[in-house]
């Protein structure tokens, strides 16, 4: 099969990149996989595709764009990078998939048996890093041509023949956050282990295999269980609504996004999780749900959560997009924070166990529960936990969490998604150096890990002051509970 990026498409890419901040040389990484195959979209891809269509022409907001640096001890040549890309494109079907539309209007996934990925190389006089920010900003607004473009773009920065950094862009149709984490681990192991890896374990799930399972009797039973769960929650009542409007603004200026980066919250949430035997995710959801009780005046809190769907051994390392929305409801009548955490954990487990459904069936049910196809049941509050740090990271107990509060930083960001209330939970570690060596060790030893809470709101209902108050109170409540138990 020929490469999906043909000469016409190359010309389109060149025109689209006429404003690129740095000149680039294009080389190609060929790949050859075990099979070519087509299938319908899996349930997660259906959700992502609906978001992409609804956000057009700004569907680039669902791209995953990140910059990176290569440690000095590893820095490969251009040819070695192309060889690595060929290896991983051949290894993982999701990375060599395109998403054309059939004559009947259905979008499908098509795995290519062979082809080439165009890779851009930018020559830089030094490895200082100023070029990364410019490239990341440029590619953050570039859309994918899903029908004929592979779901990965890569720009590599070169100094003295060695690649020292770059920017990657993945389509969310091909990977989710956990897939990217696994890919990053594989890439590191590939370069450490002599530029090869053991074969994937037999039975490793693929995106096409996931679609086939979802169409099987077992998949249909899971779908029906999810539909029954949602119907049981909302057959007799609507989910929690937004507070009354306090402003009249047009849609294009009605949303704000703020982020709070907190070492104190990471320190506190990890201690609470260890003390209660629950997960950090459960701690965060419980604390957020309790604050929503105060914000809305409702004891019953309804949320959209994001479920990884990586429950089986054969899917934990799947390179594909597998995240699905799950439907969470908890009664927090009379609850304090610790009680809210415990109740929310049980509700979240139920939501995750009863999640997984095709978009058509769920949309039909939401229409039946709401006001019909034009006014389906909708959910105002969403939490997406995207943390990737190891679950067994050391828990600090040498100092109160409150001692870290002065390090907290709150910033206002450009709006990426127009959501009424959308809390994203990320994590990371602060590094003082580019090589991830001594500074990385210091980060782990001295607790430089942090949580970042990014909150997008419709300020017609949740003002900027209330947004900032919510984020700071989320941090404060976690710190207070952790330190009170010390």
pLDDT tens by residue, 145-180: 999 999 999 999 999 999 999 999 999 999 998 899
Is residue 294 domain-shared with residue 407, that is, in the same domain?
yes
DSSP state of 394: P
- List, in order, residues 6 or more apart from 312 with CB less than 8 Å away: 205
Contact 289, 332 (CB under 8 A): yes
Angle formed by the axes of helices 464-484 and 337-353, nearest 10°: 110
Please identify, among 140, 165, 195, the residue that sits at the C-terminal boundary of a domain: 195
How high is the pLDDT of residue 442? 37
452 is a domain residue: yes
More confident of the two residues 180 and 130: 180
Is residue 403 domain-shared with residue 263, that is, in the same domain?
yes
Tens-place pLDDT, residues 361-408: 999 999 999 999 999 999 999 999 988 755 556 677 778 999 999 999
> Which of 172, 149, 148, 139 has its CA nearest to residue 67?
139
Is residue 191 domain-shared with residue 282, that is, in the same domain?
no
- Residue 242 CA to residue 136 CA, distance in Å, equals 35
Is residue 243 domain-shared with residue 172, that is, in the same domain?
no
Could you tell me the two tokens for 398? 């040498």
Contact 471, 409 (CB under 8 A): no
Query: What does the mean pLDDT of the chain come to?
Result: 89
CA 363 to chain centroid: 23
Tens-place pLDDT, residues 297-332: 999 999 999 888 887 777 888 999 999 999 999 999
**Greatest CA separation found in the chain?**
67
Angle formed by the axes of helices 280-296 and 337-353, nearest 10°: 110
230 is a domain residue: no
398 is a domain residue: yes
pLDDT value at 282 more than 90: yes
Is residue 170 domain-shared with residue 258, that is, in the same domain?
no
Is residue 419 domain-shared with residue 319, that is, in the same domain?
yes
How high is the pLDDT of residue 395? 76
Is residue 190 domain-shared with residue 279, that is, in the same domain?
no
Please identify, among 165, 195, 225, the residue that sits at the C-terminal boundary of a domain: 195
163 is a domain residue: yes
DSSP 42-73: PHHHHHHHHHHHHHTT-GGGGEEEEEEE--TT
What CATH number did the domain enclosing 54 receive?
3.30.559.10
Is residue 33 domain-shared with residue 100, that is, in the same domain?
yes
Omega of the bond leading into 364 within 30 degrees of 0 (cis):
no
- Residue 455 CA to residue 296 CA, distance in Å, equals 16
Is residue 185 domain-shared with residue 250, that is, in the same domain?
no
Is residue 128 domain-shared with residue 70, that is, in the same domain?
yes
DSSP state of 405: G
- DSSP bridge partners of 26: 120
458 is a domain residue: yes
Look up the domain containing 373 and give its range.
239-484
Could you tell me the two tokens for 199? 């074969």
What's the alpha-carbon Rg for the chain, to the nearest Å?
23
210 is a domain residue: no
What CATH number did the domain enclosing 359 receive?
3.30.559.30
Q: Tell me the mean pLDDT in the region 104-115.
A: 97
Is residue 185 domain-shared with residue 297, that is, in the same domain?
no
272 is a domain residue: yes
Please identify, among 168, 195, 222, the residue that sits at the C-terminal boundary of a domain: 195
Structural domains counted in the chain: 2
208 is a domain residue: no
Q: Give the other-Cβ count within 10 Å of 73's Cβ.
A: 9
Contact 141, 55 (CB under 8 A): no
Is residue 102 domain-shared with residue 184, that is, in the same domain?
yes
């Amino acid at each position: 099969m020929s490469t999906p990026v043909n000469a016409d498409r190359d010309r389109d890419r060149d025109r689209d990149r006429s404003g690129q901040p740095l000149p680039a040389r294009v080389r190609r990484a060929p790949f050859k996989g075990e099979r070519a195959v087509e299938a319908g979209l899996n349930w997660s891809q259906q959700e992502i595709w609906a978001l992409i269509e609804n956000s057009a022409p700004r569907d680039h907001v669902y791209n995953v764009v990140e910059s990176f640096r290569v440690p000095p001890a590893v820095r490969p040549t251009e040819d070695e990078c192309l060889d690595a890309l060929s290896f991983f494109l051949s290894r993982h079907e999701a990375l060599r998939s395109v998403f054309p539309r059939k004559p009947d209007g259905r979008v499908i996934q098509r795995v290519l048996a062979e082809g080439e990925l165009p890779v851009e190389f930018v020559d830089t006089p030094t490895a200082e890093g100023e070029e990364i920010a410019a490239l990341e900003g440029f590619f953050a607004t570039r859309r994918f041509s899903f029908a004929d473009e592979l779901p990965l773009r890569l720009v590599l920065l070169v100094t003295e023949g060695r690649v020292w950094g770059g920017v990657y862009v993945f389509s969310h149709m091909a990977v989710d956050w956990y897939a990217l984490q696994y890919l990053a681990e594989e890439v590191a192991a590939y370069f450490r282990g002599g530029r090869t890896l053991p074969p994937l374990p037999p039975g490793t799930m693929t995106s096409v295999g996931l679609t086939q399972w979802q169409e099987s009797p077992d998949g249909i039973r899971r779908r029906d269980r999810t539909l029954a769960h949602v119907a049981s929650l909302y057959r007799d009542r609507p989910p929690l609504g937004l507070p009354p409007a306090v402003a009249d603004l047009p849609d294009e200026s009605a949303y704000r996004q703020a982020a709070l980066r907190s070492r104190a919250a990471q320190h506190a949430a990890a201690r609470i999780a260890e003390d209660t035997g629950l997960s950090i995710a459960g701690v965060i959801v419980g604390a957020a749900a309790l604050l929503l009780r105060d914000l809305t005046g409702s004891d019953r809190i309804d949320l959209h959560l994001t479920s990884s769907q990586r429950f089986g051994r054969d899917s934990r390392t799947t390179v594909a997009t597998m995240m699905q929305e799950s439907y969470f409801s908890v009664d927090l009548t009379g609850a304090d924070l610790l009680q809210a955490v415990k109740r929310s954990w049980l509700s979240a487990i139920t939501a995750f166990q009863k999640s997984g459904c095709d978009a058509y069936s769920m949309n039909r049910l939401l229409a039946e529960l709401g006001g019909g196809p034009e006014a389906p049941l909708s959910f105002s509050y969403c939490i997406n936990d995207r943390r990737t740090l190891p679950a067994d990271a050391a828990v600090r107990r040498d100092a109160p969490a409150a001692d870290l509060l002065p390090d907290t930083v709150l910033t206002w960001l450009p709006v990426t998604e127009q959501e009424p209330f959308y809390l994203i939970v990320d994590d990371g570690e602060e590094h003082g150096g580019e090589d991830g060596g001594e500074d990385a060790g210091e980060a782990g030893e001295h607790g430089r890990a942090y949580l970042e809470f990014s909150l997008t709101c419709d300020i017609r209902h949740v003002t900027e002051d209330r947004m900032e108050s919510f984020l700071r109170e989320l941090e404060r409540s976690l710190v207070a509970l952790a330190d009170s138990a010390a």
